[in-house]
Structure 1
Amino acid sequence: MSAILPPADRLWWKHPIDRVEGTWIALAFVWCMVMFFMMVLWHVYGDQNLSTETYKTTPDAFIANAQAMVDQYTVRTETDLEIPVVAPPAGSDIYLIARLWNFWPILELEKDKTYRLHLTSMDYNHGFSLQPTNLNIQIVPGYEHVLTVTPNQSGEFSIVCNEYCGIGHHMMVGRLYVR
């Protein structure tokens, strides 16, 4: 094909497709369809997808709920900052606040019991990464993210912020105990 041809002859879709080109186009289409349907299958049958609810909230309303939970279920305090450790009963709503540069409060949950974990940020976007389980969610200010969680192994877990949130980002680590 050349630029000297008249404009009507330069249109690529008016020329026949070579057999090799057709084969590659067919292979690409089949692969796209395989990937599309695998995404649907992974969503339905995979264990990696979180079932979350998200609601608009205000900092004052969320802090009131979190403070009520802390006042009712605090069992002790830890760290030099006197962060409360909260042990709510199974099946209850638990609240975790992310703010520069900490998670508040420390949660103590029971193994194989189900809880509704409410998350929000008071200031900037933060990340909630439960290590070493690789549970990740982005926490956005003004929104309350609700996860249904059932811890299936005992131990001490770290909650790490994986969204850069400023100069103290590297120190933003919380704790979660499962007994």
Structure 2
Amino acid sequence: MALNPPSNRLWWKEPIHGIELAWIIIAFLWGLFMFFFMIAWHFIGDQNLSTETYRLQPEAFVEKVEAFAEEYQLMDENGEPVEIDGVPVISPPAGGDVYMLGRLWEWWPILELKKDQSYRFHLSSADWQHGFSLQPVNINLSVHPGLEHVLTLTPTETGDYGIVCNEYCGIGHHNMSGLIRVIE
């Protein structure tokens, strides 16, 4: 019970103050602006990834990735394969196809790409649904077994880029990561 209840309990019939009306109009117009620009950004934003996706057997994709890794394995000056924590580092030719496999609990292999060169990324999962979130850039995909997702990426800055799984995939999910290195 209020200390001083309003004399008219029908609050929606009370007159609207000018400042309240102004804020309601501003909020409504901003909502319309954002609604229509969501559509516009789809076409003019250059932020939409390719929707190129193919069905395949997970085992067939695993074979593709392993053949890709074997063909483009980076070697050190002694002719030994370069690995980071037991994961091979792959250096594909600039402008070529790149294959990455999501599986419990890693993105495999590690890629070494050249700056300002475009690559066609082929992503799939061997087992569960995984997330491919490329950090710190804003690329985020859900990767499913049985589907090969293809997108074109052009790294514009050198450095190490982490890949994080952002789809819960089991007990080791918090450790699932990968790496892309971009060099000159």
TM-score (norm 1): 0.79
Amino acid at match of 1:177: R
In structure 2, the residue matched to 1:90 is 94
In structure 2, the residue matched to 1:73 is 72
The answer on 1:125 being equivalent to 2:126 is no
> What whole-Å deviation, never above 9, does each CA across 1:84-142 have from its counterpart, x for those lacking one?
11100012111000000011111110000000000001111100011111211110111
* Alpha carbons 1:158, 1:173 under 8 Å: kept: yes
Aligned pairs (5 A) from 1:20-169:
34-75=33-74, 76-80=81-85, 82-169=86-173
Distance 2:118 2:109 in 1: 18
List alignment gaps of at least 5 residues for structure 1: 1-19
Instruction: State percent identity of aligned pairs.
Output: 55
Q: How many corresponding residue pairs?
A: 157
* Alpha carbons 1:99, 1:122 under 8 Å: kept: yes
* Other structure's SS at 2:65 match: helix
Query: Once the 2 structures are TM-superposed, how far is the Cα of residue 173 of structure 1 from its aligned partner?
Result: 1.1
Distance 2:31 2:56 in 1: 39
Distance 1:118 1:51 in 2: 11
Distance 2:152 2:167 in 1: 22
Across the aligned residues of Structure 1 and Structure 2, the Cα RMSD in angstroms comes to: 2.2
List alignment gaps of at least 5 residues for structure 2: 1-15, 75-80
Distance 1:78 1:70 in 2: 12
